[in-house]
Chain A
Amino acid sequence: MATETQTKNVSINNFEQCLKCSICTVYCPVSAVSPAYPGPKQAGPDAERYRLKNKEFFDEALKMCLNCKRCEVACPSGVNIGDIIQAARIKYNSHRPKLRDMMLANTDFVGTMASPFASIANPVLKLKPVKAVLHGVMAIDKHRTFPDYSSRKFESWFKKEVAATQENYSKHVSYFHGCYVNYNYPQLGKDFVKIMNAVGYGVHLLEKEKCCGVALIANGMPKQARRQGEVNMASMRKAIAQGHQVLTTSSTCTFTMRDEYAHLLDIDNHDVRDNISLATRFLFQLIERGEIKLAFSDDFHKRVAYHSACHIERMGWVPYSTRMLSMIPGVELVMLDSQCCGISGTYGFKRENYERSQAIGKGLFDQIKEVAPDCVATDCETCKWQIEMSTGVTVENPISIIAQALDVEKTRKLNALD
């Protein structure tokens, strides 16, 4: 009986395993710059005991949490501290989301509306008076510029230019491109298709793709996030049934669909989870198993500084991306210290968070300026906006760097495609 009690009594998010060692507090980027934030230990396992007694103990200050999960990475006892905090926000927060938060969170709706008018929307969103209105009325900070909308969505490009040839390949994968690739930066999706085709894989879109929902969770719209998550899971099940792996080029979308769906949204993804992977990880595994080979051009040279985005750090997958980059002979790789850049998706766009966001990222920005690389590599698109805005250094997804360095002809030959 005693053994039974000890081994089977697992608390929600493991919170009873907290030893109160305080290691998590060392790595919280928020409490280091905002004394009003109670820090991960207090906001997480400590206050959870009170909240379980009475919901009145819910503290509005929890919305300052970035959901970076660095507390969980640091925890030696396996407590899901970040999940405890996010779950409390979902469960106890009684405020309805503001219009601004709804707009920031609905990345695919806003993207769909903006893309046809990209040539107008992009310059307009950069105008000082527009920014002033956004700042004053919408509380979107005036220092921020929205990432440019692409006039042609990735999906439109894909369907028109390459979809027809994908069946020519003998092996196939599905691609969850995410909102960023679709509306803002189709080039990353094109880079992905270029690499996969060069090694003999046809790329397919999912039957239906919705925003992964990370911004909806962060902005207090869990129900909509759940609906969208279910759509994604249903589409992925179909792809997996055809023998496809579902690949992504965004660490946060991947983390959300693999881990947050089950932990925070109560979506049953157990049959899908293991088939969702980052493209760098998938490629690394294929190379390691000897199934594909990559050839790189001799005249590609870049000094690349790798930034470990919070959610790839939480997944433990950084070495897949860095080992892929290290395979490129012309890449000199410098590892930046692993720390949050401060943007956390929509968080840093909000007027009330702007200063905090920049203070959190300062250590990283200073280090990047000191290293002075040709570019920064990271697996997260919002880190890209933040680092580019704050340092002026170009930021690329590892997939784009691989695509730039790839010698397509040689690679096709190596993989016996020609």
Chain B
Amino acid sequence: MKFDDIIIGGGLSGLTAAISLAQAGHDVAVISAGQSTLHFSGGSLDLLGCDSNGNAVESPLEAIATVSDSHPYKKVNEIEAKALNAKQLLSEAGITTTGNASANHWRITPIGAIKPTWLSVDGMATVPSSQAMPWKRVALVNIINYLDFPTKFLAAGLRAKGVEVEVKPITVPALEQLRKSPSEMRSTNIAKTIERNGLVEEVATAINNATGNNYDMVLLPAVLGIDSSATSDKLLKLISCPAGYVATLPPSVTGVRMQTLLRKRFTALGGTFFTGDQVVEGIFDGNTLKGVRTAKLDDTTLEASHFILATGSFMSRGLVADYNHVYEPALGVDVEDHSLNRKSWAVVDINSNQPYMEIGVKTDDQLRCMKNGEIITNLYATGAILSGHNSIKSLDAAGVDMLTALQAVNNILK
């Protein structure tokens, strides 16, 4: 089967590239081995949150100029324009966001920490600075028996910043049913129950009864808006006090929505999505990748002029570690720092800088992959699979995903 471009990986990076190429009129396929880490999204996208000393970054655009030479951003031109493109691409898919690349704002994590971020999905509660909180009195609303919203941690985090917090448990009869199977009272099932049964008004009434007009801010678990933001927007409007969402533990409803909307956008542009399939072999001709074979298509080779490898890091199995080395399983392209041995790629203190986080696929300055030291001229790598940065420490995962994808698309189209 022949395409103009094939993207291996259907997460944030892969879909960003796929949508951009489809918009340019290309016939594009995405091959995705299971769902992506967007399902763990906090509802915000980070561009660069911390500098190399671990200090919070005020302006990502300024700080990006100072990242180490190994950082993927060094291979991205016109960062500011690409950051705008990324925001625009999300918006066209139905994911509207607040924020810009000149100045970080702050997101609230499910366990009550405050972190710098670039874009937050509209409706997420954010604060302009980590120092002074904009609210004196906050109601922290949770649904009774919903365990993936740790209100004690959240309240403690906010109180440490000088906010007065009251926890307000609420429920409606339909949600009480959800604990029939104790394990299944999950964010996404709550969202589906409220949306499919048209319970937004009922939930709003329950929240208003608990909070009245007495709070500067009502914080809610982000358990609404699985297909679109229609219901989550509606609920915020119905609440008497100012209100916003805080991310829950996985699965993330906001993240599922982002995944769903990006895929829909790609399909609407005529893209082909190979679902739940895995690339098992690359067919190379000298320094060119001719096609890929997958686990499910048997003797069919998927051919294209250009390929993008956006299969993610260890969590998504874009990278695999065994006892002796780290390798890239789909195409066997070169991995940077593969000579590190097991003892040196991890550090005992789990919170310190883990060297394995910087292991990734080796690319040239145009983001092209290598195999046995030779550049593959039509194979690009983007997103979390790239080497040279620690996305947990520098808070730059989504930025790297989207900006390297847009850069690879530029390199392909030029």
Contact = CB atoms under 8 A, between A and B. Distances in A.
Do A and B come from the same complex?
yes
Interface of A: 2-3, 6-7, 19, 21-23, 25-27, 31-33, 35-39, 41-42, 46, 61, 72-78, 274, 284-285, 288, 308, 313-319, 322-323, 335, 337-338, 359, 362
Given A36-B181, A76-B35, A316 B322 contact: no
B183 A319 contact: no
B188 A25 contact: yes
A38 B184 CA distance: 6
Contacts of A274: 298-299
B184 A31 contact: yes
Interface string B279-300: 0000000000000001111111
Interface residues of B, number: 47
A316 B272 contact: no
Given A3-B322, A26-B251, A38-B184, 9 more contacts: A23-B39, A31-B181, A32-B188, A33-B192, A274-B298, A285-B300, A316-B296, A319-B272, A335-B267
Interface in B229-268: 250-251, 256, 260, 264, 267
Contact of B274 (A21, A37, A319): A319
B410 interface: no
Contact of A38 (B35, B183, B300, B324): B183
Interface centre among A21, A37, A46, A75 (most CB of B within 10 A): A21
Interface centre among A21, A36, A41, A316 (most CB of B within 10 A): A316
Contact of A318 (B36, B184, B256, B275): B275
A56 B275 CA distance: 36
B275 A338 contact: yes
Nearest to B272: A319
Interface centre among A21, A42, A319 (most CB of B within 10 A): A319
Interface string B374-401: 0000000000000000000000000000
* Secondary structure dominating the interface of A: helix
B277 A316 contact: yes
Nearest to A74: B35
B276 A313 contact: yes
A3 B39 contact: no
A21 B39 contact: yes
Contact of A316 (B256, B294, B315): B294
Interface centre among A6, A26, A33 (most CB of B within 10 A): A26
Nearest to A24: B35
Contacts of B181: 31, 35-39, 42, 61
Nearest to B192: A32
Given A35-B179, A39-B184, A317-B296, A76 B324 contact: no
Contacts of A36: 180-181
B183 A26 contact: no
B362 interface: no
A75 B277 CA distance: 11
A249 B67 CA distance: 56
B316 interface: yes
Nearest to A19: B315
Contact of A6 (B29, B34, B322): B322
Nearest to A315: B296
B304 to A, nearest CB: 14
B168 interface: no
B329 to A, nearest CB: 11
Contacts of A19: 315
Contacts of B277: 316
Contacts of B414: none
A388 to B, nearest CB: 23
Contacts of B36: 76
B85 interface: no
B189 interface: yes
A3 B323 contact: yes
Given A21-B39, A23-B251, A76 B296 contact: no
Interface string B313-336: 001110000111000000000000
Given A37-B181, A46-B183, A316-B297, A2 B275 contact: no
Nearest to B226: A26
A6 B189 CA distance: 35
B1 interface: yes
B251 A3 contact: no
Given A74-B276, A76-B36, A285-B300, A42 B196 contact: no
B177 interface: yes
Contacts of A317: 296-297
B1 A319 contact: yes
Contacts of A316: 274-277, 294-297
Interface centre among B36, B181, B315 (most CB of A within 10 A): B181
B306 interface: no
B188 A26 contact: yes
B362 to A, nearest CB: 24
Nearest to B29: A319
A285 B295 CA distance: 17
Contact of B184 (A35, A76, A313, A323): A35
A39 B34 CA distance: 18
A23 B181 CA distance: 17
A313 B275 contact: yes
Given A77-B317, A318-B275, A26 B184 contact: no
Contacts of A359: 196
Interface centre among A27, A74, A75 (most CB of B within 10 A): A74
